[in-house]
Amino acid sequence: MKELKRVIISGGGTGGHIFPAIAIADEIKRKFPQCDILFVGAEGKMEMEKVPAAGYKIVGLPIAGLQRRITVQNLVLPFKLLSSLMKARKVVKEFDPQVAIGVGGYASGPTLQMANALKIPTVIQEQNSFPGKTNKWLAAKAAKICVAYEGLERFFPPSKIAVTGNPVRLEVTKIEGKKDKAFAHFGLSEAKKTVLVIGGSLGAKTLNDAMDESVQKLAENNIQVIWQCGKYYADALLNKWKDRLPDGVWLNPFIFEMDLAYAAADIVVSRAGAISVSELCLVKKPVILVPSPNVAEDHQTKNAMALVNKGAARLVKDTEARSVLANEILQLAGDSEAQIGLSDAIETLAKPNATQDIVQEIINVI
């Protein structure tokens, strides 16, 4: 087997890009402990903090995205792009990697473009069912494209596609035998149905508004709720519900013990980010997805529909969630046959070996 000795990983901007990148790096290090890994990110973006925290070196490019309105930032964008291409060329040439991996996001464009120009093979990892602009642009010269969903031949050359799934936090999906510990941790009863509501670390306004209006109704119908509201909304919600939160409702900005939350849940209500969806496939619980409309190309709806079309999830539109989510939860909670059907269907979409498979594709390329 060819040994990986020097690898560049580029991309970021959001956790949905950064987490897979770090997971890939961790798997490379597990397989090849001596491998030198360099990340290339965008200056001022969250990867510049998250990647060093995970123990890896990172170089920042001055690249930025196009604003949708006329701004000064748009006027300087061509200069930032040119500067990023020049810096990326210098970084790639000096580091001399065997392969450059792009995970999406601004920085991966200049980095993989320069790697291709220097005859270094490139691999793309696309998390969503509808690819981002950067990955679509880079696909023509990529040696391999690792995707999480089937049907991406519409966007990428079919001969280059490998359906590997997305890298996920396997430790949070290991939930077997943890139910007793989970109910004790959240202070809930094993005798009642439990709904887990997750909207990301920052929070999702629609989900919080929907739960704010319906948590009392759910409690009156013997439904318990683990409600992760996110840091943006925590103060207002915790102040509002202080001392009057219904029994069986756990409200907090974060869930640090996600394995326990998944273990306790009978039903999960979630946004439809690519990594969240991949995680939920491994958890195998009935899911109601409420896709965020505030994302490029409405890709969360496309992620959700990839499951809904296979009977593996239910969908509630963001615009309708405030009025219908509670009834959807109650209807599903009362239909054990539907719960089993959703669980069985979502299990068939799980890719537990995604990270290992992606790294194997990288090895094959070199």
pLDDT in tens, 215-240: 999 999 999 999 999 888 889 998 88
Q: Please name which of 357, 341, 331, 259 lies closest in space to residue 307, comparing C-alpha atoms.
A: 341
Exposure b/e, 68-85, CB count within 10 A at least 16 = b: eeeeeeeeebeebbeebb
User: Do residues 27 and 125 make contact, with C-beta atoms less than 8 angstroms apart?
Assistant: no
So what's the pLDDT on residue 282? 96
Q: What is the pLDDT of residues 55-85, one digit of tens each?
A: 999 999 988 654 445 555 656 666 667 888 9
pTM above 0.85, yes or no: yes
Among 69-83, 162-176, 282-296, which is the least confidently predicted range?
Answer: 69-83
Q: What is the pLDDT of residue 81?
A: 76
- What number of other Cβ atoms are within 10 A of residue 102's Cβ? 30
16 has binding-site annotation = yes
Per-residue model confidence (pLDDT) at position 294: 81
Which of 271, 291, 284, 289 shows the shortest CA–CA distance to 342? 284
Ordered by where they begin, the domains of the chain are 6-166+353-365 (3.40.50.2000), 171-347 (3.40.50.2000)
Question: 248-267: per-residue pLDDT in tens?
Answer: 999 999 999 999 999 999 99
pLDDT at 155 over 60: yes
Residue 169 annotated as part of some ligand binding site: yes
- The reply to whether 15 sits in an annotated binding site is yes
Question: What is residue 63's predicted lDDT score, i.e. its pLDDT?
Answer: 83
- Known binder of ligand: residue 201? yes
Answer yes or no: is 14 a known binding residue: yes
Q: What percent of the chain has pLDDT over 90?
A: 79
